Chains A and B, each alone.
Chain A
Amino acid sequence: MTTSKNTDMDPTAEPEEAAIAPETQPREVATIEQRAAAAGERGAAAVADAIEQGEDAEKAVGVLYLGIDLGTSRTSVSASNGQRETIASYVGYPKDAVSQKLLKKRVLFGQEALDKRLALNFFRPLEHGVLKSSEEGTPEYEDNLRAAKDLISEVIRRAKPRKDELIYAVIGVPAQVSINNKQAVLDAARESVDSVMLCSEPFSVAYGLDMLDDVLVIDIGAGTTDLCRMHGTMPEDADQITITFAGDYIDNKLAEYIRETYPEAQFSIEMIRKIKERYASVADEVDKVVVDLPVNGKPTSFDLTDGLRAACQTIVGPMVDGLSTLVSTFDPEFQDRLKNRVLLAGGGSQIKGLDLAIEREMATRLGGGKVMRCEEPMYGGAGGALKVAHDMPAEFWEKLK
């Protein structure tokens, strides 16, 4: 009998665990009695039936709000049932029926898809924060659209909606995304929710933190960095700038550095991403970043301290360029206030010392400025989108069904 033994198919760890309830929680229509009173006689009867059916059937119907941050690297969801989830934006489909049988899944997501990508048709459906494609109608476009749809369905599934609930979702997209791409994201989401709206990612971050006046939001993602000027009204095109100096740009710069400095080192872009996520810093004083990379199959230590810092530093200049543009085109009377309320959000804001580096650059080019960090960079966009969804009037949702 010929044998084959392979044990590397263990399910990998799931992404970060669900954490705290969203900020919008306090406004619950709290008690069953209140619900009954609000819903009238028919509602009261329904609630009475629900009580008889026990805890699980506490209500016959409900409204589940979802805030989704659809990112190039990670997709996060915050839900009004307290669920919060983040998954890496990877989607994989088994290459054939036998792979599907062995993997026991029709489609794999996140880290699991990444780990088993050799047995999968593997997709990272978003690029620069929007659907990756050459042009609409091409097989590549269709494949990425399908992957994006499945990714959105998966994050919604991970929010654990009940089947009898209405699902209203707000999805954050990069500030200056094209209409076609917005349409594609809407198409992808519509299959999984009852009603959906898109809103600008940096706006949703600001809305979630209730910082709507004279604030400059910098949302650093993997594909794009969005800069948005908030001044008490809905930001217009002139208030928003999207640049591609973001996480992926740093990865490519670091990869270039390694290729030039240590040509013998072997690595993949995923390995580079992990190194960046663990050690990224632009601070003056940092511990040495020494990592093991294979050289002809043998793990060898390399010092990446300078290379990583230089790669991370490359996004500071373009960001301050964007800041300068938004500040200089603002009402002169309020420019100082705007400079002193710069808010860093998104996964890229976790680079150590980034706030101070931006402040230094602003001091040189704008004569000063103050940078704050978002407390929860991973969920800033999703939490804000959830708050937008919650505050949106019922008639608006109805009209967009």
Chain B
Amino acid sequence: MTEMTTAKAPAASALSVAQMLHLMRMEVDNAKLHGYAICCLMIGLDEFQTQAEREARRWLMPAIFSELKAITFQQHIRGLGLTREHFILAVFPHIGVKQATELSEELLAKARELELPGITGGTPVTISVGVGHNSHPRSDELETLIEDAETGLNLARSGGGDRWMQWRTVEDELEDIRGELDEQIREMRELGPGEESDAVASWGHALVRKIVDAFAVVEPSASLNQVRSDVLAIVSSEVDRWRDLATIRQLSEREKTIDLLERRITKLTGSLDQTESELKRIASLKAIDTGISSIYSTVQGLLDGEDNTEAKREMLKDIFEANLALRQ
């Protein structure tokens, strides 16, 4: 725990949230204009669900913010940051992806050391960090960077917390996996008939033709014809055997390749499914309310036994006609 953490919580700044965001936006715009790197970190506490933990958040967030300040101060990193109850948002210009991830790692380690008496009760504090960076072509606005960092934070939390995650990297990995899977499937489809056995057959035909040509220059006789037939029969038989052996060898090799490819496909498909289901799970967290059923399954209408049924029926008809007239 650094000195910064043990010190009292930071005093409220003279800058409002809107002013701070304005400064961040200017910095991101400058980075876009002058082509330098800029990263955005969104930091949140893990598993703070109970009332007591929510109370603790008020103390822990400033402490983590202090740790972040201490780390950046030691490394001479300049940045802009603001704390909210549920997250810390920070923007660091001239910081590459590697440095941003190292910063995140360091902050994760510092957070694990945090222990505020009477608040965490000995339970280690863990945080998750989402990283957004303008190295990705689509992340050159403050809004997009914050969005990337937030998605990264959600992914890091859903992955168990105590980790950093860069959403665009995950997205790129997903794309890579998809591409690799497509490549493997295409390769498997392209595996045609055996080339080696074809080569053996072609060589065999050439050999037979040479033998026939060699016998053609000699004066034909019955014994010579017999010898030629025997030689051709032996050569043909050997060529067939070689061809069978080549085919068997080739089939065996292909079976090995197919087995290897199939295993890779299974692995990649599993990985892809897992990632996609995780993304779906995160997306579904925002819309889980399925509603409450009405007590009616059919349209009701006025019951005959009611008081003033006729008067009510007339009134309802009047309301309907007034609304119909309004539509027309």
Contacts and interface: CB of A to CB of B under 8 A. Distances in A.
B284 interface: no
Nearest to B24: A98
Given A2-B13, A59-B293, A98-B142, A388 B298 contact: no
A210 B312 CA distance: 10
A5 B12 contact: yes
A39 B315 CA distance: 29
A179 interface: yes
Contacts of B311: 212-213, 232-233
A233 B315 contact: yes
A83 interface: yes
Contacts of B83: 3-5
B36 interface: no
Interface in B1-41: 10-13, 15-21, 23, 25
Given A2-B23, A6-B17, A79 B294 contact: yes
A4 B10 CA distance: 9
Contacts of B62: 5
Interface stretch (B72-80, B110-118, B174-182, B236-244): B72-80
Nearest to A50: B297
Contacts of A101: 143, 146-147, 150
Q: How large is the interface on A (under 10, 10 to 19, 20 to 34, 35 or more residues)?
A: 35 or more
B85 A394 contact: no
A98 B146 contact: yes
B301 interface: yes
Nearest to A167: B294
Contacts of B291: 81, 160-163, 165
B292 A162 contact: yes
A254 B11 CA distance: 40
A198 B292 CA distance: 25
A27 B303 contact: yes
Contacts of B294: 62-65, 79-81, 161-162, 165
Q: How large is the interface on B (under 10, 10 to 19, 20 to 34, 35 or more residues)?
A: 35 or more
**Which of B81, B143, B291, B326 has the most CB atoms of chain A within a 10 A radius of its CB?**
B291
Interface string B65-103: 100110011000011111111000010000000000000
B215 interface: no
A25 B295 contact: yes
Contacts of A1: 68-69, 72-73, 78-81, 90
A208 to B, nearest CB: 12
Nearest to A64: B294
Interface string A362-401: 0000000000000000000000000010111110110110
A98 B23 CA distance: 12
B323 A197 contact: yes
Given A4-B82, A179-B326, A400-B320, A29 B13 contact: no
Contacts of B298: 29, 35, 38-39, 63
B315 A207 contact: yes
B89 to A, nearest CB: 9
A61 interface: yes
B58 A7 contact: yes
Contacts of B58: 7
B78 to A, nearest CB: 7
22 contacts: A3-B82, A4-B12, A4-B81, A4-B82, A6-B16, A35-B298, A58-B293, A65-B296, A80-B294, A80-B295, A98-B142, A161-B294, A165-B291, A197-B319, A203-B315, A213-B308, A233-B311, A388-B316, A391-B316, A392-B316, A393-B299, A396-B317
Contact of B290 (A63, A162, A199): A162
B315 A234 contact: yes
A334 to B, nearest CB: 16
A82 interface: yes
A396 to B, nearest CB: 4
A186 B322 CA distance: 13
A108 to B, nearest CB: 16
Contact of B316 (A166, A168, A393): A393
Contacts of A99: 18
A270 interface: no
A24 B147 CA distance: 47
B280 interface: no
Interface in A63-80: 63-65, 79-80
B13 A3 contact: yes
